[in-house]
Amino acid sequence: MSPEEPALLITEEAIRRRVAEMARTISSDYADVDDLLLVGILRGCFIFLADLSRQLAIPRSIDFMAVSSYGRSTTSTGAVRLIMDLRTEIAGKHVLIVDDIVDTGYTLQYLMEALKPRMPASLKTCVFLRKRENFRMDWEIDYVGFDIPDLWVVGYGLDYADRHRTLPYIGAVKAG
């Protein structure tokens, strides 16, 4: 294995199975909702959101936001900046924020604070991966694919300095 190649953490097959399970849970939880708005957080969410949204058995719409926090470093500064806002009005709508990974939780906390004042009917969070031991918030993520250790992970939409996003599996890289 080249030193550049990420070490396998979650296989394609395990990802496929877990995303299908998450889609079933979310479809059942929102069974009575006419239109669930999935808000993907660019860029990391794009593959997870594509897979998850196509397996939902309920009416749904999709919009995106983009934020920036880490720059090229792998340590959270806690400073989140909004790069792109929603195009959709969310007052009275059921909103589910979908992100690739939650680490400290600062990014999702920022997004929740940005969206709550717009008066959605409900506002929940869904992430594919969670670094449980790093999470610093006093609230819980509503839907989590996998809990992982404190490693820098790539693939399935996640990058390290913009590399490895399209790897089909989740791998860990050495990062500083």
Report which residue type is found at 47.
I
**Among 37, 107, 115, 128, which residue sits at the site for ligand IMP (rule: CB under 6 A)?**
107
CA distance 6 to 52: 24
What stretch of H or E contains 22?
Answer: helix 12-29
What stretch of H or E contains 112?
Answer: helix 106-115
102 binds, among ligand IMP, Mg ion, none (CB under 5 to 8 A by kind): ligand IMP
Which residues within the stretch 31-60 sit at the binding site for ligand IMP (CB under 6 A)?
A: 44
Tokens representing 31? 């069974």
152 binds, among Mg ion, ligand IMP, none (CB under 5 to 8 A by kind): ligand IMP
Which residues within the stretch 134-153 sit at the binding site for ligand IMP (CB under 6 A)?
A: 152-153
Choosing from 100, 103, 138, 147, the catalytic residue is 103
**Active site includes 29?**
no
* Cβ nearer to Mg ion, comparing 30 with 145: 145
CA distance 131 to 157: 16
Which residues within the stretch 151-170 sit at the binding site for ligand IMP (CB under 6 A)?
A: 152-153, 158-159
Minimum distance from residue 175 beta carbon to ligand IMP (Å)? 8
Using CB under 6 A as the binding rule, whether residue 101 contacts ligand IMP is answered as yes
104 binds, among ligand IMP, Mg ion, none (CB under 5 to 8 A by kind): ligand IMP
* Cβ nearer to ligand IMP, comparing 72 with 87: 72
Strand partners, 96: 38, 124
Q: In what order do the strands lie in the sheet with 81-84?
A: 81-84, 60-68, 36-42, 94-102, 122-130, 143-147
Tokens representing 13? 């097959």
Where residue 55 falls (left for φ over 0; alpha for ψ -120 to 50; beta otherwise) is alpha
Which residues within the stretch 35-54 sit at the binding site for Mg ion (CB under 5 A)?
A: 44
| Residues taking part in catalysis | 103
Q: Which residues bind Mg ion (CB under 5 A)?
A: 44
